[in-house]
Structure 1
Amino acid sequence: MSTRPTPGDLVFRDATHADVDALVELVESAYRGDSSRSGWTTEADLLDGQRTDPEGVREVIDRADSRLVTVRDADGLVACCQLENRGDAAYFGMFSVRPGLQGAGLGKAVLAEAERFAREEWGVRAMHMTVIVQREDLIAWYERRGYRRTGKFTPFPYGDERFGVPRRPDLEFELLVKTFGP
């Protein structure tokens, strides 16, 4: 079992194709199936099926305007996130923390590093993300970190099983935004 890493113990690096299988396993473990229930980010009550697949992960790795960041400690892969440069803003997605390590500050450290990178390296003025509106606990977590709800919604991609099999008919995403200071 992994010990709880501290921010100083973490190594952030861009993902490569050699990381694809481990990244798919991490993302799936954080959001789908029974293993995800040991953490608090599970979507198992909302969606069945997959959250991502090897092809989707490779696409993110290969995109010129995107980074898929792996986060490792002495025991291996513990978290990941995607950053996509969209000009004035960066998009934050594919955020996953190993379920047994959730709730101890690792997610905060990863989010802070992603924001730092987007501000300092890309010079963006804001971070955007979309969250399933039924995930009130997750939205509240982001709000405590300075994100605000925008009231801008997009439909869940029903019928596209690459993103999961919905267990209810009312899923949609809301855009959350954090604006960075001058």
Structure 2
Amino acid sequence: MTDLTFRDATADDVPAVVDLVESAYRGESSRAGWTTEADLLQGRRTDAEGIAAVVAAPGSALLLAERDGILVGCCELRRTGSVAYFGTFAVSPLAQGGGIGRTLLTRADAEAVARWGSDALEMTVIAQRADLIAWYERLGFRVTGERRPFPYGDERFGIPQRDDLEFVVLRRPTAGDR
């Protein structure tokens, strides 16, 4: 994936990032890729306020991956002690399966080490997403055994289509510690 360029998002990027994340996870457009949550959650996955908060927060970054100046992927990094939280990870549904996600994750890992000296990446994934969890495990993440409740009633995270959603926590050492 040498044709990808990376940069930190700015406030001007917020609308495009919201569109990318929504297209990767919700609605019919998300079904073009394999990361869809459309059968688990309806409604929005994120909004401009949430993305703008990530962009503006100290100790965090929203990393963008672009190809020929077009946004094709993004991820959030947030310093939490010696661990970097990895989230808001999205790749355009029409570009999924081509290595962008793996390349972006590798870049995020390197950025967490360079920016904060992070010794691990941590993330949460909806427990019912076994295919996605398996993909992360192939990339060195391990399920920690910790589970976190899904924020039922907070429509900023979507409208659940089932009553058993929860998050599993995954973690992997950064490349600097492997």
Structure 1 residue aligned with 2:124: 130
Task: Please say if 1:71 is aligned against 2:65.
Answer: yes
Q: How far 1:61 sits from its partner (Å)?
A: 0.5
> Aligned residues: percent identity?
56
State the alpha-carbon separation in 2 of the partners of residues 62 and 119 from structure 1.
20
Aligned equivalent of 1:61: 55
Question: Which of 81, 86, 97 is the aligned partner of 1:92?
Answer: 86
Give the TM-score, by structure 2 length.
0.96
- 4+ residue stretches of structure 1 with deviation over 2 A? none
Q: Secondary structure at the match of 2:32?
A: coil
The match for 2:24 is: 30
Who is 1:18 aligned against?
12
The root-mean-square deviation of aligned C-alpha atoms, in Å, is 0.9
Task: Count residues in correspondence.
Answer: 176
> Which amino acid is 2:60 matched to?
S
Deviation at 1:120, TM superposition (A): 2.8
Query: Is residue 147 of structure 2 the alignment partner of residue 153 of structure 1?
Result: yes
Q: Name the structure 2 match of 1:4.
A: none
Instruction: Give unmatched runs, 5+ long, in structure 1.
Output: 1-6
Aligned to 2:98: 104
Aligned partner of residue 168 in structure 1, secondary structure: coil
* Cα distance in 2 for residues equivalent to 1:58 and 1:117: 20
Q: Quote the residue 1:39 is aligned against.
A: 33
- Normalising by structure 1, report the TM-score: 0.94
**Structure 1 residues 34-91: Cα deviation after superposition (integer angstroms, max 9, x where no partner):** 0000000000000000000000000000100100111111150000000001121000
Deviation of 1:11 after TM superposition, in Å, equals 1.1
1:142 alignment partner in structure 2: 136
